Structure 1
Amino acid sequence: MDKRTPLSSLQNPLVKKLLSLKEKSRERKKTGLFVIEGKRELELAISGGYQIESIFICKDINTELDVHSNFPVIEISRKVYEKLAHRSTTEGVLAIAHAKSHTLNAIALSKRPLILVAEAPEKPGNIGALLRTADAANLDAVLIANPKTDLYNPNIIRSSVGCLFTNKIAVGSSDEIIAYLKENNISIYCAALTASKNYDELDYRNPSSIVVGTESSGLTSEWLENSDQNIIIPMQGQIDSMNVSVSAAILIFEAKRQRGF
């Protein structure tokens, strides 16, 4: 632990840096850095191979950081912590970390990959929920086509409960991801309302990708034209769709069931 007086001024350059990284996507992209909040999230990031620049701890909340003493640890005051933290239940722990490169060619595939593709997801909460589902199912990868927000948005980290750090994630255009799936002989199954089969009628035991779109407009024609088969979850009520993360979970775990989990 750094033995200096705890950082207590909101005007301190380091505090300003943390605040800027937390609030500004442009700053995260420019520096390649982002903020982690919470002990659990920090532990998942470290176990996921993320490079940690500094750890910040509020000793009024957390009297002892019992992990990762090999990283620089700086004490901050409660006032600074409360300014920087999204939540009051994150054990008084923050960190600055280096983002990873999420390129398609960095994904190592198994012999029978099962992949989730999300096209143009906008809401951080939905992205976080998709990542939680992907972690729960131990998917080979999550591919995000034409993203509308950067992966290191604090709301994504929070809503994913750290599963941003546990999944293999790649980002690209729809063209790039479609080409990648075809080059690797991975079937493309698009969740769509038209020209669809019930989701449980297909065989997902071979290399497969499940593709979901936005709740408002679904998938674009680019994906539908390249789909090996559109799939649908039959609705028994008055609506014709569900939250994207709920739909993805149903489709993914049917595939997992067929594979014997």
Structure 2
Amino acid sequence: MLDIISSTQNPKIKNVLKLQEKSSERRKQHLIVFEGNRELDLALNAGFNIKTLFVCKDVWGDERIEGVSQRDIFYISKDVFDKIAYREGSDGLIIVAEPKYLTLETLALSPNPFLIILEAVEKPGNLGAILRTADASQADAVIVCDPRTDIYNPNAIRSSVGCVFTTQIVASTNEEVLAWLRSKGITSYAAALTATEFYHETDMAKPCAIVMGTEATGLTDHWLSGANKQIKIPMRGKIDSLNVSTSTAILAFEAMRQRGF
């Protein structure tokens, strides 16, 4: 008979909640939390070290779990699962794993790299959506400058539908990233309403990076003056209504179009 954790006061369950709620705990324990079999498969394929897997058999059923040692699997009741699950339609798996933190120096770049750079991204949902775009367009990496949200925030992982595990991600500073781009000969295009050149008039077939700012204030002067060029998306409406994730997708797929997909 399976031992089933049925109390939310269980120390392991209390720790999962702490990891979900506090980035400081994730950094301190060097652990992240996410949900779902698809995400588990993607994390395993990317070489992430799975520490603990919580399984609710009332939801998951009797399917076989591959790639995780039985000693690292704990079974939980439906009540406990409902307490710690944070997305609708979850399939009964909650995973605790070690994160991977890449640096600019450890990025693996293609011969003709395309990069997405985000300055001071603060909404986990936007970060997750942009990671989906990066995966779909096969960008070499997403670089987050001076982030205001944890790149392994559970909501970022959820909204990325696991693309946090399929995309190279680096968190760094504005200064380091701009210097690194210059050292690599990668042209930087800053997306800005003040630009005079439209994105589709820009050469994105060469090694390049698009630089996106926050929805509230856009890019800082560091990028507006430091990037090789400013570009913009034609806006035909009465307001500048595109959010940063949508704008990123438009620019990324223009780069892919110019490169023949």
How do 1:111-122 and structure 2 match up within 5 A?
Answer: 111-122=111-122
How do 1:177-196 and structure 2 match up within 5 A?
Answer: 177-196=177-196
Matched, 1:52 2:50: yes
Unaligned runs of 5+ residues in structure 2 are none
Which structure: greater helix fraction? 2
Range moving further from structure 2, 97-106 or 215-224 = 97-106
Question: Does the C-alpha gap of structure 1 residues 195 and 36 become closer, same or farther in structure 2, counting only changes over 3 Å?
Answer: closer
Contact 2:87-2:158 within 8 A present in 1 as well: no
Q: CA deviation at 1:87?
A: 2.1
Tell me, in whole angstroms, the C-alpha distance in 2 between the residues paired with 1:155 and 1:101: 18
Range moving further from structure 2, 11-20 or 113-122 = 11-20
When the two structures are superposed, what TM-score results if normalisation uses the length of structure 1?
0.96
Q: CA deviation at 1:196?
A: 2.8
- The equivalent residue for 1:166 is 166
Write the deviation string for residues 53-89 of structure 1: whole angstroms up to 9, x where unpaired: 0111001111124232542211111111111001241
Question: Does the C-alpha gap of structure 1 residues 157 and 70 become closer, same or farther in structure 2, counting only changes over 3 Å?
Answer: closer
- The equivalent residue for 1:91 is 91
Unaligned runs of 5+ residues in structure 1 are none
Tell me, in whole angstroms, the C-alpha distance in 2 between the residues paired with 1:241 and 1:251: 16
Tell me, in whole angstroms, the C-alpha distance in 2 between the residues paired with 1:4 and 1:121: 44
Matched, 1:36 2:19: no
Tell me, in whole angstroms, the C-alpha distance in 2 between the residues paired with 1:65 and 1:152: 27
- State the one-letter code of the partner of 2:182: K
Percent sequence identity over matched residues?
Answer: 49
- How well do the aligned residues superpose, as a CA RMSD in angstroms? 1.2
Matched, 1:5 2:3: yes
- The equivalent residue for 1:156 is 156
Tell me, in whole angstroms, the C-alpha distance in 1 between the residues paired with 2:48 and 2:74: 19
- State the one-letter code of the partner of 2:75: E
Tell me, in whole angstroms, the C-alpha distance in 2 between the residues paired with 1:9 and 1:253: 48
Tell me, in whole angstroms, the C-alpha distance in 1 between the residues paired with 2:247 and 2:62: 41
Structure 1 segments of 4 or more deviating over 4 A? none
What number of residue pairs does the alignment pair up?
A: 259
- The equivalent residue for 1:62 is 60
Tell me, in whole angstroms, the C-alpha distance in 2 between the residues paired with 1:32 and 1:54: 13
